[in-house]
Chain A
Amino acid sequence: MSSGKSFAVLGLFDSADALVTAIPKVREKQLGGLEAYTPYPIHGIDEALGLRRSPLGGMVLVMGVLGAITALGFQYWISAIDYPIVTGGKAPWSWEAFVPIMFEVTVLFATFTAGLGMLLLLNKLPFFGHPVLSSESIKAITRDRFALAIEAEGEGFDAAAAQAALAAASATGIEVLPEPDRGPFLTSDYILRVAGGIFTACVVAGLLMYAAVKLFPVLPPMSHMEDQPRLNAQKADSFFKDGFGMRMPVPGTVARGYLPIGVSSQEEAASLVNPLPRTPEVLAMGRKVFHNRCELCHGALADGVPTLTAAYGGKPANLQAQQFRDYPDGKIFWAITMGKNAMPSHAADLTVTQRWAVVHYVRALQRAQNAKDEDLNQAGAR
């Protein structure tokens, strides 16, 4: 028994039944605040002691809703306002993808409120200076005995009367407890203040960091990738003697689809036979190539009447002329491959197949502009 004023009187009971029976008897004497200490929660003891409902549910609800709003706002602000990136073709502000993280953050906020709110805020733990902890009875309380304590509320606490009341309720091992030791120990207040300080520091540091990056972008973001050694297209480079970054292909290199044609003049080329069949697919390919590469000068009908030529000053061939209608396929192919007069070679741009496809298409244009009566019969036969 330490010196100083007595703070509480505590008595032990052997069973939960005995404790619950004793509470009303002691309570009606109104000697001070009542508190029970038990090894596990006892049903119905809240009503017997007259405890108010725990406000934890409301706290958790508020913090959970706050968590949901925080997560939604944070994700929305980042994804739609501060750093909008289009992913998967979704609008930056489409919120559906934010739901999983919203849920997780809600649970996180609610959990920490429930756990730490219960321990730190409502129960004011940790607190190591409570007299019950250093009492004789604590060993029994956390094991298998049930204690009832009458605690001082204000000045007029009558320890002797409290002892008598507990004895009358058939409590054993009655003990008088001293004042709590409220030294500057590790207490819930202390922990809350430290945690609050750390949290504030983190928030301030984060905002400072954000502002610094926004206002003074001195540090190149993510420099790892652009620092790699490589040759850039169209740029000088000291790696090769001639100082060019881009290289010519090795002499004699043949790209796929660009086999040499194997003839040396347009007359020799007359003997070449178009290897492609006249199918709708081939004609479609030929039309596409013609549209992209030939039409600009030769005109959509290959009649040498385009729109661009007047300004350009050139005089492209009228492919509908008799001379060209009599050309064998090979000579047209030669002209596309090697170029003719002002027309440049298309050998570098069109594969052999594409060139032959254009030949078919040109033939089709010629036939369409110079149709004969038999063609009508053919069309009817189809």
Chain B
Amino acid sequence: MRTEASLLRGGIPEGLIEPPLTEGVVTPGSLDDQVLAFPDSRPPRQWYIGLAITMTAMLIGFGFIGYTIATGIGVWGNTSPVFWAFDIINFVFWVGIGHAGTLISAILFLFRKRWRNAIARFAEAMTIFAVMCAGIFPLIHVGRPWLAFWLFPYPNQRAVWTNFRSPLLWDVFAVSTYFSVSLMFWFLGLVPDIASMRDRTTSKVRKVIYSVLSMGWRGAASHWQHYEKAYLLLAGLATGLVLSVHSVVSFDFATSVVPGWHMTIFPPYFVAGAIFAGFSMVVIVLVVVRETMQLKNLITMRHLDVMNKVILGMACLMGYSYMMEGFTAWYSMNPYLHHAFMNIITGVYGWAGWLTISCNILIPQLLWFKKCRTSYFWMILVAVGVTVGMWFERFVIIVISLHQDYLPSSWRIYKPTLVDFGVLLGSFGLFFTLVLIFARVLPVIATTEVKAILPGAQPSHHGDDHE
């Protein structure tokens, strides 16, 4: 009855009222003191240990990359007919990881999902770092990275232009656009936060750095007006972009005639997989961040619960995609396609096929239970499983499809070399090194955005023309 009465008064029914997005008492001031204090304080010992580990991995990877460039990509396991292997697997994997950040920052912003505000900054940062990791691989895959600028259409002494019909060129444009747009989005979000840091730091050097980075932001209402408009527009643009980037990546495969690649389901299938893998990585990192940086009141269990629900939804989409791949193979009546599909589940690399299916489809079903969605053990298990599974999914798509092509005489078993694993390790090292540095140097939570959704942050209505 009370609910009905409040409905009559134009109120919101109790069941629909969103629970608070933060735990405990959080005020704009306490938020700044909590989040913006990190860059001004000394990192704890665990941070240095973590950085030592990730930087070691990174330097090992850089060593192997140097060795590859100096020797040639023959040091990898790639051999005819498997010309694409770890290099392209890692590229697709890392680009995919980046997609969660854009989804959280752009699509959930358009949907007015206010819980995104607390995790958007970290997810966006992970997008940028993941795309940086991804960029390494096509660069070293071309063999002569110092000539990689040939990929761009500029008037040159060779008097040749690039081929605009090649999906590989589309990739160059898609990934570089994606990186630029993500960086712009991230930077715009950072400007007011860095202005807050500028005004609270006591160090003169930091003050200069923050002043330059915040571009003299002073929080004027006329500036906020343009700022909010720009943010909304960027969210809309990034939404289209995030759907297009992995679609374009999938065109690298789908526009070819290799059995197992030539399928129309590839673009949506890749986008779903990218968001799936990206969310898992965000869950892994956020669990570590909220535990070690004492951010439990801002990144609440509810955030993790909701993200796990997204992971579950994406796992079901992936299951559908896998089944549709099988259906396409069967329905096509194409013996090559039949062979390519059966090769995934019964071939030499059948273990990789089943690992993919178990990690991506079966294990995430645990998330149907609220207990698993809110327990570190289970959510980390699922997230690590999905990360491994999604890496192997790309292995399945690329290596299994390639190693047995149309010509049985050229079939070959692909074996990665130590250098392949070294470069993969290096990319993880680079990613987590950047994440660790970011966590101590810039505000890990978009304080401005969280301030705006705290209770009482917005003026109550005065019966004006707003109704």
Contacts and interface: CB of A to CB of B under 8 A. Distances in A.
A44 B216 contact: no
Given A20-B459, A130-B216, A115 B164 contact: no
A107 B217 contact: no
Interface in A72-131: 74-75, 78-79, 82-83, 85, 87-88, 90, 97-98, 100-101, 103-105, 107-108, 110-112, 114-119, 122-123, 125-128, 130
B160 A37 contact: no
B237 A43 contact: no
A144 B451 contact: yes
A258 interface: no
A358 to B, nearest CB: 31
Contact of B173 (A37, A54, A60, A104): A104
A15 B185 CA distance: 29
Interface string A220-247: 0110000000000000000000000000
B218 A104 contact: no
Interface in A185-220: 186, 206-207, 209-210, 213-214, 217, 219
A206 B200 CA distance: 46
A79 B32 contact: no
Contact of B155 (A42, A97, A206): A206
Interface in A309-335: none
B237 A98 contact: no
Interface string B212-235: 100111111111111111100110
Contact of A49 (B167, B191, B221, B227): B221
Contacts of B154: 206, 209
Interface residues of A, number: 79
A268 interface: no
Given A15-B456, A39-B448, A54-B229, A138 B181 contact: no
B230 A143 contact: no
A15 to B, nearest CB: 7
A221 B157 contact: yes
B244 A40 contact: no
Nearest to B157: A219
A20 B459 CA distance: 7
A40 B221 contact: no
Given A108-B180, A127-B216, A41 B452 contact: yes
Contacts of A342: none
A362 B433 CA distance: 80
A207 B155 CA distance: 7
A110 B233 contact: yes
Given A37-B218, A83-B161, A130-B218, A16 B458 contact: yes
A28 interface: no
Given A108-B177, A130-B216, A45 B199 contact: no
Interface in A15-53: 15-17, 19-21, 35-47, 49, 51
Contact of A115 (B153, B158, B161, B188): B188
Nearest to A132: B218
Given A101-B164, A123-B226, A144-B27, A39 B219 contact: yes
B218 A133 contact: yes
A118 B229 contact: yes
Contacts of B466: 44
Which of A54, A210, A219 has the most chain B CB atoms inside 10 A of its CB?
A54
A344 interface: no
Contacts of B241: 104, 107
A269 interface: no
A68 interface: no
B69 to A, nearest CB: 18
A103 B244 contact: yes
Given A16-B458, A104-B244, A107-B181, A37 B233 contact: no
Interface string B148-159: 000001111111
B441 interface: no
A110 B223 CA distance: 19
A369 interface: no
B221 A115 contact: no
Contacts of A130: 216, 218
Interface in B213-267: 215-230, 233-234, 237-238, 240-241, 244, 248, 251
22 contacts: A35-B220, A38-B221, A42-B221, A78-B153, A82-B161, A98-B164, A100-B244, A100-B251, A103-B244, A115-B188, A118-B188, A118-B227, A123-B222, A125-B215, A125-B217, A126-B215, A139-B200, A142-B199, A142-B217, A143-B200, A144-B29, A222-B158
Interface of B: 27-29, 32, 153-167, 169-170, 173-174, 177, 180-181, 184-185, 187-188, 191-192, 195-196, 198-200, 211-212, 215-230, 233-234, 237-238, 240-241, 244, 248, 251, 448-449, 451-452, 456-460, 462, 464-466
Pairs of residues from A and B, 7 with the lowest C-beta to C-beta distance, nearest first: A144-B28, A210-B155, A126-B215, A118-B230, A36-B221, A41-B224, A40-B452
Given A39-B219, A107-B237, A117-B230, 7 more contacts: A37-B219, A57-B229, A107-B244, A116-B184, A127-B216, A143-B28, A143-B199
